Structure 1
């Protein structure tokens, strides 16, 4: 892997970085660079999800669900006060897995898009 890619991947969680490396290993260097640029723009940081989950305790429940493209759950959390704070507490414990799941989904979508572009 190109040293510049290592710099781009430095802010990823270790498990996330391993997943991304396994996804892009079969791509050529320009495709890898394009993938990483697109991924950096669309991924969510665990700190952002943690902060928005904590905001659920202060009346803004569900923001973390909106950020991870779970709109239905976000609306439900918003109108039920984070499912009476129980859902917010569960999300507070599981914020890293919420983020990782979202980021994996985004990576798969980007990879599919790149493969479609390369087949043209």
Structure 2
């Protein structure tokens, strides 16, 4: 399948790394399973482009990006240390694509589990 004809291309801000990860995770899926997977995954996924905004807002609301990535412990730490004195927030801003990709990998796993368990009919 050509990359631009793929249903994964409808995901906003998809990176080549995420695209190849999704391709390998959904090999052997029927069209219906793929459609269900995309429905679940797209609702849980974080757009790497939006993560830049969340990281910038992290200077005003310390820990915001970490809370949005379900890293509650780190979010609390960032909140009480003002983003580790701003250094952690700057590092998050630089690594925003990696943060989003790691979170999205967990969401791919969760979505696959829901599809395999037949939770969504």
TM bracket (short chain):
0.7 to 0.9
Q: Which has the higher helix share?
A: 1
Point out 4+ residue stretches in structure 1 off by more than 3 angstroms.
1-4
Number of equivalences? 117
Aligned to 1:52: 54
Contact 2:13 2:49 in 1 (8 A): no
Tell me by how many angstroms 1:10 deviates.
6.3
Q: Give the TM-score taking structure 1 as reference length.
A: 0.88
Contact 1:39 1:106 in 2 (8 A): yes
Q: 1:108 to 1:31 in 2, by over 3 A?
A: same
Tell me by how many angstroms 1:11 deviates.
4.2
CA RMSD of aligned residues (A): 1.9
Q: Which runs of 5+ in 1 are unaligned?
A: none
Tell me by how many angstroms 1:8 deviates.
2.7
Q: Give the TM-score taking structure 2 as reference length.
A: 0.87
Q: What is the rounded CA distance, in whole Å, between the counterparts of 2:39 and 2:99 in structure 1?
A: 22
Aligned to 2:45: 43
